[in-house]
Amino acid sequence: MLPADLIKALQAHTGLKPQGERMLGGGSINQVALILLGSEKQRAVLKWNSAALAPMFEAESRGLQLLRANAGSLIIPEVLGTGLTDARSWLLLSWHEAGRSTNAAMERLGAGLAAMHRCTAPTFGLDHDNYIGRLPQRNQPAAAWPEFFMGQRILPQLEQAVSSGLLARSWLSKTDTLAKQVEALFPDEPPALLHGDLWGGNYLISTRGEPVLIDPAVHYGHRETELAFTRLFGGFSAAFYRAYYAHYPPAPGYESRTDLCNLYPLLVHVNLFGSSYAAQAQAILKRYAA
- Model confidence pLDDT, tens digit, residues 142-156: 999 999 999 999 999
Domain range list for the chain: 4-94, 119-199+221-235+251-289
CATH (one of 3.10.20.30, 3.30.70.1400, 3.40.50.720, 3.30.200.20) for 4-94: 3.30.200.20
261-280 average pLDDT score = 97
CATH class assigned to 119-199+221-235+251-289: alpha beta
Measured CA to CA, the distance from residue 81 to residue 46 in angstroms comes to 10
- Model confidence pLDDT, tens digit, residues 123-149: 999 999 999 999 999 999 999 999 999
Q: Which residues are catalytic?
A: 197
Band (26; pLDDT cuts 50, 70, 90): low
- Do 130 and 62 meet the contact criterion of CB atoms below 8 Å apart? yes
Q: Percentage of the chain with pLDDT > 90?
A: 96
62-80 average pLDDT score = 97
58-65 average pLDDT score = 98
Residue 141 is predicted with a pLDDT of 99
- Model confidence pLDDT, tens digit, residues 185-244: 999 999 999 999 999 999 999 999 999 999 999 999 999 999 999 999 989 999 999 999
- Model confidence pLDDT, tens digit, residues 88-128: 999 999 999 999 999 999 999 999 999 999 999 999 999 99
Higher per-residue confidence, 232 vs 25: 232
Q: What is the identity of the amino acid at 246?
A: A
Band (290; pLDDT cuts 50, 70, 90): confident
pLDDT over 90 (residue 15): yes
Residue 30 CB neighbour total at 10 angstroms:
20
pLDDT over 70 (residue 17): yes
54-80 average pLDDT score = 97
pLDDT over 90 (residue 252): yes
- Do 132 and 266 meet the contact criterion of CB atoms below 8 Å apart? no
Burial of 210 (0-12, 13-18, 19+ CB in 10 A): middle
Between helix 175-185 and helix 278-289 the angle, nearest 10°, is: 70
pLDDT over 90 (residue 1): no
Measured CA to CA, the distance from residue 135 to residue 265 in angstroms comes to 11
Residue 97 is predicted with a pLDDT of 95
What's the first-to-final CA gap in the chain, in angstroms? 53
Band (27; pLDDT cuts 50, 70, 90): low
37-51 average pLDDT score = 95
